[in-house]
Amino acid sequence: MRRKHTKRLSDAELARRLEESGLIERGVLDALLARGVDDGLLCEAIVESGLVGDWELSRWACRWFGRPFLPLEACTPTPAATDGLDGASLIRQGLVPLWRSAGGLVVAMPGITSEEALQALSEDAGCPVYAVIGSVRGNRRWLEENLARAPLPEGDPREGDSWSLLFDVGDAQARDVFGGSSGA
């Protein structure tokens, strides 16, 4: 049985609902969007800014958009789900392919993702894409650990955030050299 999702996924709809619910003021949302947040990446900007908690935002997105919540902490993606897909696009959109079947590809969105991103993924995969709501940080962590770090296209808003990745890169290099985990 297929469930029809009639609520269009978009940052504009998410922003409207966040404002109406009183979770985030319109001026704050406008400031985030003015930073050049690409369509479909508002959830990531909200969570990384600390405005709303990751799982709380996912809970609201599930309620507003009628999608199930399936964080990566509760399931293990099958390795074959990413076969033939553009890793750079998955990383850019924060989408994690969970599994494929004869009926299509199931992906976890980081909160929500734009309809356009899901349509592009469907074309890339050559099958229908069914999206569930995951968590921003869980998706990002899985993508960084399991897909080769693809260079960001020139002009990508996160391209200028390379300083924020400095310590993550240094930590990974230290683990490679010294064999084990860094930290206490």
DSSP state of 69: B
Nearest to 144 by CA among 184, 98, 74, 87: 87
Query: What confidence score (pLDDT) does residue 177 get?
Result: 59
pLDDT range class, residue 30, cuts 50, 70, 90: confident
From edge to edge, which strands make up the β-sheet containing 129-134?
A: 96-101, 104-110, 129-134
pLDDT of 92 above 50:
yes
pTM of the model: 0.73
Average pLDDT over residues 89-93: 90
Q: Where are the domains of the chain?
A: 11-153
pLDDT range class, residue 2, cuts 50, 70, 90: very low
Task: Say which CATH architecture domain 11-153 belongs to.
Answer: 2-Layer Sandwich (3.30)
